[in-house]
Structure 1
Amino acid sequence: MPIETPGAIAESPWRLPRAAWIQVLKRVFMMAGFHNLNLLAGGVAFFTFLAITPLIASTVMIYGLIGDVSMVERQMNALVEVLPSDAATLIEAQLLAVVTTSSGVTGLALLIALAFAIYGGMRAASGLIKALNVINEEKETRGIIKITARAALLTLCAIGIALVGIVSGSVFTWLQTQTSILIGSRVESLFSLLTWGFAIALGSLGFAVIMRFGPDRARAQWRWLTPGAVLATLLFIAVSFGFSLYVAYISDYNATYGSLSAIVVFLMWLFLSAYAILLGALVNAEAERQTLQDSTIGPEAPLGERGAVLADSTVLRGHALAVQEKKRRREMERLARKSARNSNN
Structure 2
Amino acid sequence: MSAGPGRNWWPALRRTPVSMWNDDITDYAAALTYYAILALLPTLLVAVLAFGLISPGTAEEFITQVTDYAPGQSGATLHGVLESMLTQHSAVWTLLATGTASALWSACSYLAVFRRALHRMHRAPDRRSPWRKAPRIVLTALVLLSLLVVSGLVLLLSGPVAATLGRLLHLGSTAALMWSIARWPVLLCLVAVLVVVVFHTGPSPARRRRQSLPGGVLAAALWLIVSAGFTLYTALLGTYSRLYGSLAGAVVFLIWLWLSNLALLAGAQFTAELSRARGDGG
In structure 2, the residue matched to 1:312 is 281
1:239, distance to aligned residue in structure 2 (A): 1.6
1:10-43 residue CA offsets vs partner (Å, 9 max, x unmatched)? 3xxxx322xx322112211221211122222122
Helix, strand or coil at the partner of 2:207: coil
The separation in 1 between residues aligned to 2:90 and 2:223, in whole angstroms, is 32
The separation in 2 between residues aligned to 1:103 and 1:147, in whole angstroms, is 38
The separation in 2 between residues aligned to 1:149 and 1:202, in whole angstroms, is 24
In structure 2, the residue matched to 1:198 is 186
Q: Say if 1:82 and 1:237, in contact at 8 Å, map to a contact too.
A: no
In structure 1, the residue matched to 2:28 is 40
Specify whether residues 249 and 113 from structure 1 end up closer, same or farther in structure 2 by C-alpha distance, changes over 3 A only: closer
The two structures, once aligned, show a CA RMSD in angstroms of 2.9
Q: Say if 1:44 and 1:128, in contact at 8 Å, map to a contact too.
A: yes
The letter for the 2-side match of 1:312 is G
Instruction: Give the TM-score of the pair, scaled to structure 1.
Output: 0.71
In structure 1, the residue matched to 2:155 is 169
1:137, distance to aligned residue in structure 2 (A): 2.3
In structure 2, the residue matched to 1:307 is none
Among 77, 85, 90, the alignment partner of 2:64 is: 77
Q: Say if 2:66 and 2:152, in contact at 8 Å, map to a contact too.
A: no
Q: Say if 1:61 and 1:114, in contact at 8 Å, map to a contact too.
A: no
Helix, strand or coil at the partner of 2:73: helix
Specify whether residues 113 and 168 from structure 1 end up closer, same or farther in structure 2 by C-alpha distance, changes over 3 A only: closer
In structure 2, the residue matched to 1:316 is none
Higher Rg:
1
Count of aligned pairs: 280
In structure 2, the residue matched to 1:66 is 54
In structure 1, the residue matched to 2:40 is 52
Specify whether residues 312 and 56 from structure 1 end up closer, same or farther in structure 2 by C-alpha distance, changes over 3 A only: same
The separation in 1 between residues aligned to 2:136 and 2:267, in whole angstroms, is 21
Q: Say if 1:28 and 1:282, in contact at 8 Å, map to a contact too.
A: yes
1:244-293 residue CA offsets vs partner (Å, 9 max, x unmatched)? 1211212411222334322221211111001000001111111122214x
In structure 2, the residue matched to 1:231 is 218
Specify whether residues 194 and 86 from structure 1 end up closer, same or farther in structure 2 by C-alpha distance, changes over 3 A only: closer
1:176-231 residue CA offsets vs partner (Å, 9 max, x unmatched)? 1112223214444444444333222121111001112x224466222321111112
Q: Say if 1:240 and 1:269, in contact at 8 Å, map to a contact too.
A: yes
Give the helix-richer structure, 1 or 2.
2
Is 1:16 equivalent to 2:9 in the alignment?
no
The letter for the 1-side match of 2:275 is E
Q: Say if 2:43 and 2:100, in contact at 8 Å, map to a contact too.
A: no
In structure 1, the residue matched to 2:207 is 220
In structure 1, the residue matched to 2:278 is 291
The separation in 2 between residues aligned to 1:92 and 1:260, in whole angstroms, is 14
Q: Which moved more, 1:278-287 or 1:124-133?
A: 124-133
Summarize the alignment of residues 237-248 of structure 1 with structure 2, pairs less than 5 Å apart.
237-248=224-235
In structure 1, the residue matched to 2:83 is 96
Percent identity (aligned): 24
In structure 2, the residue matched to 1:25 is 13
Q: Say if 1:59 and 1:159, in contact at 8 Å, map to a contact too.
A: no
Q: Say if 1:179 and 1:188, in contact at 8 Å, map to a contact too.
A: no
Instruction: Give the TM-score of the pair, scaled to structure 2.
Output: 0.85
> Structure 1 stretches of 5 or more lacking a match?
293-310, 314-345
Specify whether residues 216 and 222 from structure 1 end up closer, same or farther in structure 2 by C-alpha distance, changes over 3 A only: closer
Q: RCO (CA 8 Å, sep 6+): is it higher in 1 or 2?
A: 2
Among 261, 264, 267, the alignment partner of 1:274 is: 261
Q: Say if 2:199 and 2:268, in contact at 8 Å, map to a contact too.
A: yes
Q: Say if 2:39 and 2:102, in contact at 8 Å, map to a contact too.
A: no
Helix, strand or coil at the partner of 2:125: coil
The letter for the 2-side match of 1:250 is L
The separation in 2 between residues aligned to 1:264 and 1:110, in whole angstroms, is 27
In structure 2, the residue matched to 1:335 is none
Among 135, 156, 178, the alignment partner of 2:121 is: 135
1:150, distance to aligned residue in structure 2 (A): 3.2
> Structure 2 stretches of 5 or more lacking a match?
none
Among 105, 114, 117, the alignment partner of 1:119 is: 105
